[in-house]
Amino acid sequence: MKKFMYSSMAVALLAAAAVAQESTEPEAIYEDDCVAFVNGLGNYGETCIKSGLLHMAENTCYTMNADRSAENPKWINNDASQTWWWTPVACTKHEVPPQPIIEYTYEPKGCIAFENGTGDYDQHCYSEGLLNMAEGKCYVFNTDRLSDYPGATVPTWINNIATETWWWVETECFNAIPVSSSSVEPTSSSSSVTPVSSADVDCSQLDPTDQEYQDRGCGASSSSVEPASSADESSSSVAPTSSETVVSSSSVAPTSSETVVSSSSVEYQDACITYVHGAGGYADNCYKAGLTGMKEGVCYKLNPARVAEYGNSLYINGTAYDTYWWEETECAQVEVIPPRDPNTYRLEDKGCIAYEHGAGNYTKNCYNAGLTNMVSGKCYELIPARKADQVNAQYINPTVTDPYWWQETLCQDTVLLDQPANPSAPEPKVKSIAADNSSLSVVSAAADVKTLRVFDMNGKLLHSETFTGMVKDVDFAKFAGKGVRLVRITSGNKLIAMKRVSVR
C-alpha cells in the first residue's frame, strides 16, 4: 500500500529552523519530579503522579493519600477522583544542570560474511550472509545456547536466519570509541574531534576504495575538492538552538551524489502510526506500536467485522492478539514530499481566526484563539473525519486536547519564491531534531543510511536503530521522565548530528 501526502510536520520543523535566532545563553532543561502511573509498582506515596490515572484534573498531579501510605499496597485504585486513595498536589519540576558530553568516534567492528559449516560462530560478528538481516545491522551468536546447556559446544551447522533470536542477537556494526580530548559542552556547536590529515597517516597502507581513505584526505590533490583535513563536524548552515548541536558531515564540497534532494524527489515513511487509546479513528489507520502484545515487525488494523459498530468509537480493546478486535496487516510505506529548502519559500499567515462557539462553519476555518486548552502560538482545525460529519453543525466540542475533534495545523502557508535566495548554500546532513512527550522527529537533507542512537549522560547506549529517507519519527515515550538523553546520528562512521533531549 502506497499513498501520497505532504509531510506538514517536516515543513513546520524547517519553518521553525528558518526563522530561529541563535541564542547566546544556554537553554535551561527541566525534568518533572512527578512520574507516569503504572499499577503494580507500589510505593505510590513516595512520588507524585503526572499521568496515567483516570479522571485527573487539568494541570494537576497526585500522590497517594497519606492515610493509605502506611499500607503501601502494590495494586491500587487508579481513579484520581477517589480521595480515599489520592490527594492532588502541585506538578513540580527541577532544573537539570548542564553536563559535559562524552564525544565518540565510530570504528568498524570487523564483522565478516557468514558461511555455514565453519563452527566458530561465537568468535565473530556477521555483517552479511544471514537471511532476513536488518539494514545496517550486524549479528552475533546467542551465547545463551551454551549457558542453557552446560558442556554444549557451538554447532558446526547452524540456523542461518538472523531474525531467529534463539540463535542470533542483533548488534552494532561499529564500536563507539570515546575521544581522548576534552569533552564537548552540551551547548557548543564545535566538535572535540581532532581531524586527521593525510600527513598523519601512511596512505599507502589504506585501501583507496575504503571510506577511511577519503576521510583521511588520501588521494586529495590541488583540484577543486579540498582535502578533508578540516573539522569533520562544522557548524550547521541552519542556526541550531542553544540546546542543540547540529554538525555537518565535512567541509569538503559535496559531490553530485551528495547534493540536496529537490522537492520533486519522493521519499517514503511509515503509513502505520502509534496507537493512542481514546484517539478514535481506529478504522482509518493501521498501527505499528502502542497496542499491547504486538509482534515485533508486525502491524495491525481493526478487524473489518468491528468497523461498522466500533469504527467511530473512542475506547476499544487495545490488545493486539485479541483477534475479535485486531488483525495483522502489512507495515506499509507512504510516499511523502521531502521538506523544501527554506531558501525557496516564504511564509504567509494562513488567515486562522478566533473560535466563536455557535458561529458554525467550523469545517472552513482554522483557529488561533478561543478554543479550550490551546497552546500559545499554535493553530488548530477539525480532523478530516469531523469535517465530513459536522458540515452543518452549530455547536461542537471546543476542547483542542480532545483528539476526536481537533488536530494541530500550521498557522502559515508556504509560498514559493521565484528564485532561491541562496541556491548554492550547502545544507547540513541533518536539518533538525525535535522531541515532544511521545516522539522524536528527525529531518535530514539526504536519503542515505543513517543510524540514530540514544545515550544517557554517562555514555550508556539505550536505543539504536538504522533508517533511510529524509524524515524519521521515533517512539520516545519510554524515555519520559527519565532524565536528559543524548541523541546522536551517524552516517557510516561519521557523526552528523547530536542533541540533548529531556522528555517530560
pLDDT digits (tens, 9 = 90+) for 94-129: 887 776 666 677 778 889 999 999 989 999 999 999
Beta-sheet pairing, 299-302 with 326-329: antiparallel
b/e 445-471 (16+ beta carbons within 10 angstroms → b): bbbbebbbbbbebeeeeebbebbebbb
Chain centre to alpha carbon of residue 433: 8
What does the mean pLDDT of the chain come to?
74
Rounded distance between C-alpha atoms, residue 455 and residue 465, angstroms: 13
b/e 480-494 (16+ beta carbons within 10 angstroms → b): bbeebbbbbbbbbbb
Phi, psi of 214 (to 5 degrees): -75, -40
| pLDDT tens sequence across 370-383 | 999 998 888 999 98
How sure is the predictor about 70, in pLDDT bands with cuts at 50, 70 and 90? confident
Other residues' Cβ atoms within 10 Å of the Cβ of residue 171: 15
Query: Which region, left, alpha or beta, applies to residue 425 given φ > 0 means left and ψ of -120 to 50 means alpha?
Result: beta
| pLDDT tens sequence across 244-272 | 333 333 333 333 222 223 333 455 677 88
Share of the chain above pLDDT 90, in %: 17
Rg for the chain, CA atoms, rounded: 26
Is the pLDDT at 6 greater than 60, yes or no? no
- Average pLDDT (442-467) is 81
pTM of the entire predicted model: 0.29
Looking at residue 453, its pLDDT comes to 85
Residue 22 CB-density burial (10 A; 0-12 exposed, 13-18 middle, 19+ buried): exposed
- Average pLDDT (458-474) is 81
| pLDDT tens sequence across 283-301 | 888 999 999 989 888 999 9
| pLDDT tens sequence across 302-348 | 999 998 888 778 889 999 988 889 999 888 776 655 555 666 667 78
CA dihedral 309, 311, 317, 322 (to 10 degrees): 80
Is the pLDDT at 232 greater than 90, yes or no? no
More confident residue, 161 or 103: 161
Q: What is the DSSP string of 421-481?
A: SSTT----SEEEEEE-SSEEEEEES--S-EEEEEEETT--EEEEEEE-SSEEEEE-GGGTT
Is the pLDDT at 23 greater than 50, yes or no? no
Residue 101 CB-density burial (10 A; 0-12 exposed, 13-18 middle, 19+ buried): buried
